[in-house]
Structures are given as C-alpha cells and as structure tokens.
Amino acid sequence: MQLFMQQMVNGIALGSIYALIALGYTMVYGTIKLINFAHGEVYMLGAFTGFYLVTVLQVNIFLAMVVAMLATSLLGVIIERVAYKPLRNSTRVAALITAIGVSFFLQNIMIYFVGPEVKAFPSPIKVTILKVFGLVITSKQILVVVMTVILMVALQLIVQKTKMGKAMRAVAVDPEAAQLMGINVDRVISFTFALGSGLAGIAGILVGIYYNSIQATMGTAPGLKAFIAAVIGGIGSIPGAMVGGYLIGILETLVTVLGFSNYKDAVVYPLLIIILLVLPSGLFGKNVKEKV
C-alpha cells in the first residue's frame, strides 16, 4: 500500500503537467472547435524561454515563468492570427492540417537553432526531500503541484467570474449570436489562445525543473498525451482536462513501477478507447446535437 501511495504522489506530479497542457487544448476547442496541434510546440518553446532566461540572463525562476508565460501567450496570439484566422470559415480538415503544419514548422525551426540534443535544465530551486507518513515527496513535486493548482484555480475564476470569461462562454455556445450582442469575437479568440499558450509555457518550465532536461522535440509526446487527456475528460471542459491529465499521469507511473516502462506511452490509448466506448463525450463532456 505504501508503494502504491508513493506512485500516486509521483503520478499526481506528472499529471499536473499534462493537465496544464490539456487546458490549452480544451479552451481553444471549446471556443472555436479547433484542435490546436501546435500547442505541444508552444509548451516546448516555453521550456526553452525559461532555459535561456535562467542560464544566460541569470533570471529568477519565478520571474522566468512570468516572462515565459507572456512570451508564449504572444506566440499563441500570433499563431492564431497568422495561421488559423484566415481559415476560420473553411473546413475543419483544412484547419487541422494547418495546425499540424504549424507544429512541424515550429519544431524544425527550434531544431535548426538549438539542435536536437537534450539540454540540461539547471536546478533553480534547492531540492529537499520530505517524508510524510513514509511517503517521499520532493520540493520539485510540491512546486509542480502547487503551481498547477494555483493556475487552475485562477483559470476557473477568469472563465466563471470575469467579463472576458463570460464572453468566452458566449462565443463557445454561439459565435454569431455573441457578435450580435456586441462581443468582439476576434478579441475573445485571441485571449483564449493567449491564456492557453501561457499555461503551456509555464508547463514547459515546470517540466525542465522536474526532469532537469529539455529538447526541441519534447513537445510531441506530451502534447499528444495532453490532447488525449482533454478528450478523456471531455474536450471543452476545464475540470475534465484536469482530471484527464491526472488520470494519465497516475496510469503512466503505475505502469512504470510494474516493470512495463517500455509501454507507458501505449497504455494511454486503451484508456482513451475504453472511456469513449462507455462515455463518447468523455467524463465531463456534454452530448451536443448538431444541426445537419
């Protein structure tokens, strides 16, 4: 039981990162029904922004998080304006292919400038080990979980309590009706991309701190898993993205401790299939009838 609880702690720390990335997917899809496959690369760029701020400019890690969040938010807005906005009235397949293209473009640009090699992320915080009821918890795990909870609570408050949050929910329900009511739809969509991309940027830095390594291709696998987390939780649902991220993190950790570490990336897909067979809209998703 103690071993199980220890792996639950490790899984929650890993799931926190997946949940942060998944929030970006679910927010964008919930607003404009677009799957932004370039989101994983935004997360990667956030990690490299933090890396250069900490190593080259000697910036405090928390200030680096703020700067990385602002930088990736700006990048998210640029991607939306340049790549997605011109295709807003086109087919979903065209937008999906464009998102995949943007993903490969950003990844290869980073490979060109920084190379494909793994880079050692500095340890900006003192690593301490706490023992609670026999469980080993590190300061890195505490930082990851606490930062994730704070950001998720802040996001929920923004969506539920602010004027922009109400506008986001209105655009998600009916963009045309929202525009007739005086809501600037373009501004709301840009804000959604900025918010989701900023969360991904901080997730990139947290991964660098947690694993002490980053690379230009690091966004592909976590980005895909975070998308699956969003689908499992019910894409478009913020609580669903959080729960989906934690489920995948815990599942991966348990599979690893059972000795099947080579299959930790594969077990995510059976979980997705099982949940969608039972709940086609995900754990927290709503069945929405579309007019034909």
What is the C-alpha separation between 284 and 292, in angstroms, rounded? 25
Query: Is the model's pLDDT at 235 over the cut of 90?
Result: no
Whether pLDDT at 115 is above 80: yes
Q: Who has greater pLDDT, 130 or 144?
A: 144
The rounded mean pLDDT for the chain is 87
| Residue 113 contacts residue 52 (beta carbons within 8 Å) | no
Average pLDDT for 70-83: 94
Specify the range with the lowest mean pLDDT, choosing from 15-29, 131-145, 274-288.
274-288
Question: What are the distances in angstroms from CA 290 to CA 173, 229, 287?
Answer: 12, 24, 10
pLDDT of residue 29: 86
Model confidence at 287, in pLDDT bands (50, 70, 90)?
A: low
Nearest to 89 by CA among 169, 25, 159, 32: 32
The pLDDT tens digits for 28-64 are 888 888 888 899 999 999 999 999 999 998 889 899 9
What is the per-residue pLDDT for 64?
Answer: 92
Query: Where are the domains positioned within the chain?
Result: 18-217
What was the pLDDT predicted at 33? Answer: 83
Statement: residue 222 has pLDDT above 50: yes
> What integer pLDDT is reported at residue 292 of this predicted model?
45
Q: What does the pLDDT read at residue 77?
A: 94
What's the confidence (pLDDT) of residue 289? 55
Task: Read off the tokens for 269.
Answer: 């897909």
Structural contact between residues 26 and 232, judged by C-beta atoms closer than 8 angstroms: no
**Model confidence over 164-187: pLDDT tens digits?**
989 998 998 888 898 988 899 999
Residue that wins the pLDDT comparison between 285 and 235: 235
CA distances from 56 to 51, 60, 235, 274, 289 (A): 8, 11, 38, 46, 52
Exposure of 77 in the CB half-sphere (CA atoms within 13 A):
13
- Virtual CA dihedral for 45, 51, 52, 53, nearest 10 degrees? 100
Question: Region 78-82: what's the mean pLDDT?
Answer: 93
Tokens encoding 40: 């994983």
Distance CA 290, CA 292 (A): 6
What 224-227 contacts at long range (C-beta under 8 Å, 24+ apart), as own/partner pairs, is 224/40, 225/18, 225/265, 225/268, 226/18, 226/19, 226/21, 226/22, 226/24, 226/25, 226/39, 226/40, 227/22, 227/25, 227/35, 227/37, 227/39
Q: What is the pLDDT of residue 105?
A: 94
Mean pLDDT for 67-79 is 94
Q: What is the pLDDT of residue 270?
A: 87
Whether pLDDT at 108 is above 70 = yes
Token digits of residue 165: 């949050």
Contacts of 161-167 with CB under 8 Å at 24 or more apart are 164/188, 164/191
pLDDT at site 283: 84
